[in-house]
Amino acid sequence: MDDWLWMSASDLGRGIGAGEIDPVALAEAYLAAAEGHGYRDRIYTVLTRDRALAEAEAAAHRARHGVRRGLLDGVPISWKDLFDSAGTATEAGSRLLEGRVPGADAEVLARATRAGLVCLGKTHMSELAFAGLGLNPAYRGTAEGATPPNVHDPACVPGGSSSGAAASVAFGLAAAGIGSDTGGSVRVPSAWNDLVGLKTTSGRLSLEGVVPLAESFDTVGPLCRSVEDCAELLAVMEGGKAADLTGATLEGTRFLVLEAYTNDAAPAQAKGFASAIERLEAAGARIETGSVASIAPAMSLSPILFAAEAYGTWSEAIEAAPEKMFDRVCERFRGGAQFSAPDFVAAWRRLRDLRRDWLRETAEYDAVLLPTTANAPPDIARLMADPDYYVAENLLCLRNTRVGNLMGLCGLSLPTGVPAAGLMMLAAPMAEERLLRLGAAAEAALA
């Protein structure tokens, strides 16, 4: 049973279908591992044992009678604590939402439940999802209380804001985790914990019942052990069919490496990226290095677009009790107050033009490549002691990933084999199936 904890979600599903894995025993194995784990309370906000076992029993019944609802029927996964779950506190990592218990599941969680997946519980996250490091000292009162450990060094942050989602998978406490990505919140923790993370296109998956940060950019995405798992979970949450990954190849593909976003990467991240590019080329990909002119003006709009919408969403709750927040996150939200409504409207009009420019400039490439993050996971103690270091590292960890959010793209982060170093692929909006095929081929090359 210990081996089950490290299998991909898809392999677990195949084991259930073959009669080799009992869904109830599988759920019990994950629950026991989580309940007995030394970092349990830094990863999970709550384990939903009764719900998990009831769902596992139903999955076992379907498996015995040959009426499984899909490949992942009976597979246990975790959910970031901004997805509403009926009867279970959903507080988005913030004391501002303390005691908030929704009466219904978020739409994506409801779809997953109807597909037979087992909900293990809710995972910790950055406060209101507005930070990329995964550091959250305010929610549980200490720096480590709601800050999950990094799988490579528990003294370092895991990346955020889907921090607990990543840790739950990386530490073998869930077969996959569901997170959200507004500026990099699926891809950063995936990269820093050697997972595969899919950022979906804005509007592809429902945000109904998802605690918002900036709904114009918020997206839902899985953190997994394989590209296949990402494809299957996207299909489950969308109520569609998974991308066909058979025969995926890099032969004849053409990629653009963004030179400006690779030159300043930290040593491990640079090494992982360079090694990955060599292996993609060896597998038949054509790699070109260059730039895209629309990126720089789009990035300059980030403070207006993200902070203004986030503060507009949360200003009333924040100003009613700012003392409940981590001061650096509160300050980041308040930064949105300096922009006027005309500033915001003008920025969005400009961004829509820049998105069209991006698509024209990159049309000849299958995807754009860059390191998922330019920096390595920072030390928790130093982040707490040095506010300037916190701000610099938080902005840096989200710099590369934010390109995908600003340009409205889908994105995939893959482990490179170098610890905490991810390779990111960015593709056109709503091109997830194509991206996942590219990702499957790249995954095989990188293995």
Active site residues: 80, 161, 185
Element (H, E) at 257: strand 254-258
Residue 58: name the closest of 70, 46, 72, 68 by CA: 68
Beginning with the edge strand found earlier in the chain, give each strand of the sheet holding 76-80 in spatial order: 44-47, 118-123, 76-80, 177-180, 220-224, 196-199, 410-415, 422-427, 367-371, 254-258, 286-290
Beta strand spans in 351-419 (E): 367-371, 410-415
Measured CA to CA, the distance from residue 19 to residue 34 in angstroms comes to 25
Where b means 16+ CB within 10 Å and e means fewer, 170-189 reads: bbbbbbbbbbbbbbbbbbbb
Residue 100, number of CB atoms within 10 A of its CB: 13
Q: How do 422-427 and 410-415 pair as beta strands?
A: antiparallel
Residues 6+ away with beta carbon under 8 Å from 14:
71
Residue 162: name the closest of 134, 202, 195 by CA: 134
Dihedral pair phi/psi, residue 80, rounded to 5°: -55, 145
Measured CA to CA, the distance from residue 361 to residue 323 in angstroms comes to 46
User: What are 250's strand-pairing partners?
Assistant: none
Measured CA to CA, the distance from residue 350 to residue 289 in angstroms comes to 26
Residue 45: name the closest of 84, 87, 92, 7 by CA: 92
Please, is 103 exposed, middle or buried when counting C-beta atoms within 10 Å of its C-beta (0-12, 13-18, 19+)?
exposed
